[in-house]
Amino acid sequence: MRLQNKEIPTIIHAAKEIYGEGVKVLLFCSCLNDQKRGGDIDLLIQTENEKKGVLARIRIILRLKLQLGDQK
């Protein structure tokens, strides 16, 4: 997995702030392959609560871009 140690808690913390404590964050696609380079971070976010909608998606994308920077 190509995420750095500080990125994992940052992603989980942001997801919990926006979606609540019952959130589950799953990583998929090229980030799982250590042999590949570049690429974005693909996340699947599952919640036990009702759907949060587009604004929650925008909030988490913005928060992660500010905290982690652009992924290339």
**Which domains are seen in the chain, by residue range?**
7-68 (3.30.460.10)
Determine the Cα–Cα distance for residues 39 and 11; give it in Å rounded to an integer: 16
pLDDT 10s digits, 2-25 = 677 888 899 999 999 999 988 999
Determine the Cα–Cα distance for residues 47 and 56; give it in Å rounded to an integer: 12
Q: Is 0.85 topped by the overall pTM?
A: no
The percent of residues above 90 in pLDDT, for the chain, comes to 43
